[in-house]
Structure 1
């Protein structure tokens, strides 16, 4: 699967297990993938179809066991009652059968059972793509000891180096640490939470608060001029503003980042607690001129990102007494909400402020949902 149709200068963003068996990897250039696997079939990404498949899977899994948390587009966690804990193999087979016969035989799943969500995820990863792993509490230390540090979610390459500096080179060494030692190595409470998770405690991180709405996009190879980048940035910002309004937030800051092949440029503009397209797009126009004033005219732009930050819930917004813009603001907000309503009614962008011309391939503001599950509106 690739971001755009055709073009050797794009990359594989997700590949099948059959392709992996031939040496193809995620984030591999298409030209290299073709050299390794001459008969590879390249398919442009289709985020809306992934969202539909995700919703169908959640529905089918929920018919067997209640879904506790949706962690990503292809990962969910469930809590087991006493009956289910006594027959985990039967439960897993029922889930697999439900997916096979109600979704499709080509879609497999790996299932892990353990004392908490973190251990269950690690267990499920040990037998992909269609395995079943059951870790009873007394078996966990020995099972973890067989793994590499990089196999533990939350431990990347930089953390492996930090652990090595602390004279921890394997999982048994990690398990031998104390909670406060883990916290010191991670330099925050995440390390301590990981210690408790690896030792079987069901410790949950507190729910994070929303602090931004944004979108980023790597530009298609044939649309990397400053003018193309500006048009796509505008679409991304409108998408972010729509999401923000649906969640009943206002933004006080607009962030812009433009990246070329060798370096990037960025800046921030104050907004004054707004949510309507007119105020946000006006701020983008000024911000774009400031940022691009220092970019050489013929620069090829690889990536753009735009973010609405410093959020305030609509119930907590305090208008500026000295701005005297309340009447105009309310008119613009009412107009934005009316446009949102029309677009929602017809299931696509039928009305917008200014031009609405998504680039070839579409999917502006939507992508493969490894973490955030998009709403249907994200694909309009």
Structure 2
């Protein structure tokens, strides 16, 4: 274990909903849900008043309404949330330059060695909480620990508006009784494997030999073995660039025509490729996400042998991912296309010859200029024009910073 580190995980409390309650006094103390309230809507954020009723983010709005009929739905403003997020991160920067955003409303901070300036890590955490409250009229929860894994666990322990410190000599006392599912990345599939090994708690994992975990879970087994011992040597990465760019859409009615899905994938590929070029980045991994009417969700990814910003190549990869699944097609509720493993380095190989790639770059460049002047619907490729106009619960994509640091 890397010795003597002091890591903070700061997580804003019910961020979107709290911003709405702050800016609209009539919403304070009431169950507020940010998201679409239509039959196909999804809750993006829930205030703590709504969470009491069992409502949580990513829940279908129809279910949220049944659980909390008095809930107040707010469409929200991502532009406003981004502006407030920038103010939050400016507070972080007063204490350390070593900041790793995980999303618009949470981050890791490495405050190792700053004690001479700001006193103890506990004092820094208390100052951050105080400044967020006094300057922004919001609350955050902070976890303080020797590494990122423990700091993130700690920040969840005293929410909302809480502070939790995990001292090195108390790591096992705190971890051992916690459920194994508390470890990030341990979802139902992994938990099923662990249950077969007699595992219920993190302490149970700690008792298992590394070889047993590795045999069952491969690389994830090694990480579980480390995390169960409170070991995490990952550094706080200073990178506020987007690590993934995606576009997804939920539809009012399930799509029953595979060709219409293909057309929407083409349109989403155009949008993702445009934003990749806007960020002056290149993507190596392309992902297609599909959610069915029963809310089962599948994702399929492919890693290219070169990074690309080409609309044609991104679309080709996304279409092939869908076509592999399309033989067992069933009605689709949500479709998404994403790009990750972003890099500053351009492609060095590719699916097309150099002349074809030069032509595609010219087409992309002209298309980007038209979009910049007249909007994204001013130019579309033929493959995407087959998509019927539809109203969805939500349609904007996401290029906020993410780490992809799942177990």
Is TM more than 0.5 here? yes
After superposition, the C-alpha distances for 1:244-271 in whole angstroms (9 at most, x for unaligned) are 43454377x98767665479999999x9
Return the match for 2:50 from 16, 19, 26. Answer: 19
Superposition deviation, residue 123 in structure 1: 1.2
What's the counterpart of residue 102 of structure 1? 135
User: In structure 2, do the counterparts of structure 1 residues 362 and 82 end up closer, same or farther at CA, with 3 Å as the change threshold?
Assistant: same
Do the aligned residues in 2 keep the contact of 1:50 with 1:368 (CA within 8 Å)?
no
- What is the DSSP-based 3-state SS (H/G/I as helix, E as strand, rest coil) of the residue aligned with 1:76? strand
After superposition, the C-alpha distances for 1:276-311 in whole angstroms (9 at most, x for unaligned) are 446766x59997997899799xx8532224467999
What's the counterpart of residue 271 of structure 2? 239
- What is the DSSP-based 3-state SS (H/G/I as helix, E as strand, rest coil) of the residue aligned with 2:333? strand
Superposition deviation, residue 348 in structure 1: 5.2
Do the aligned residues in 2 keep the contact of 1:219 with 1:301 (CA within 8 Å)?
no
Q: Take 1:170 and 1:124, find their aligned partners in 2: how far apart are those partners? A: 19
- What is the DSSP-based 3-state SS (H/G/I as helix, E as strand, rest coil) of the residue aligned with 2:335? strand
Return the match for 2:82 from 51, 71, 78. Answer: 51
After superposition, the C-alpha distances for 1:188-212 in whole angstroms (9 at most, x for unaligned) are 2x332343344343422999xxxx9
- The 5 A counterparts of 1:284-299 are none
How many pairs align?
Answer: 357
Q: Take 2:298 and 2:149, find their aligned partners in 1: how far apart are those partners? A: 38
Relative to the length of structure 2, the TM-score reads 0.68
Q: Take 1:61 and 1:268, find their aligned partners in 2: how far apart are those partners? A: 35
Q: Take 1:130 and 1:203, find their aligned partners in 2: how far apart are those partners? A: 28
Q: Which runs of 5+ in 2 are unaligned?
A: 1-32, 238-242
User: In structure 2, do the counterparts of structure 1 residues 347 and 97 end up closer, same or farther at CA, with 3 Å as the change threshold?
Assistant: farther
Q: Take 2:213 and 2:321, find their aligned partners in 1: how far apart are those partners? A: 43
Return the match for 1:115 from 143, 146, 153. Answer: 146
User: In structure 2, do the counterparts of structure 1 residues 370 and 277 end up closer, same or farther at CA, with 3 Å as the change threshold?
Assistant: closer
Q: Take 1:61 and 1:265, find their aligned partners in 2: how far apart are those partners? A: 36
Give the number of the structure whose alpha-carbon radius of gyration is greater.
1
Higher relative contact order (CA 8 A, sep 6+): 2
What's the counterpart of residue 5 of structure 2? none
What's the counterpart of residue 240 of structure 2? none
Does residue 193 of the first structure (1) align with residue 223 of the second (2)? yes
Do the aligned residues in 2 keep the contact of 1:58 with 1:67 (CA within 8 Å)?
no
Return the match for 1:132 from 138, 160, 163. Answer: 163
Please tell me the root mean square deviation across aligned C-alpha atoms, in Å. 4.6
Q: Take 2:252 and 2:185, find their aligned partners in 1: how far apart are those partners? A: 34
Do the aligned residues in 1 keep the contact of 2:287 with 2:338 (CA within 8 Å)?
yes
- The 5 A counterparts of 1:177-326 are 177-188=208-219, 190-204=220-234, 215=246, 217-222=248-253, 224=255, 226=257, 229=261, 232-245=264-277, 246-249=279-282, 261=293, 275-277=309-311, 300-306=331-337, 315-318=346-349, 326=354
Return the match for 2:108 from 67, 77, 85. Answer: 77
User: In structure 2, do the counterparts of structure 1 residues 168 and 9 end up closer, same or farther at CA, with 3 Å as the change threshold?
Assistant: same
User: In structure 2, do the counterparts of structure 1 residues 368 and 358 end up closer, same or farther at CA, with 3 Å as the change threshold?
Assistant: farther
User: In structure 2, do the counterparts of structure 1 residues 294 and 2 end up closer, same or farther at CA, with 3 Å as the change threshold?
Assistant: farther
Q: Take 2:188 and 2:149, find their aligned partners in 1: how far apart are those partners? A: 19
Relative to the length of structure 1, the TM-score reads 0.72
Superposition deviation, residue 137 in structure 1: 0.8
Superposition deviation, residue 122 in structure 1: 0.9
What's the counterpart of residue 353 of structure 1? 380
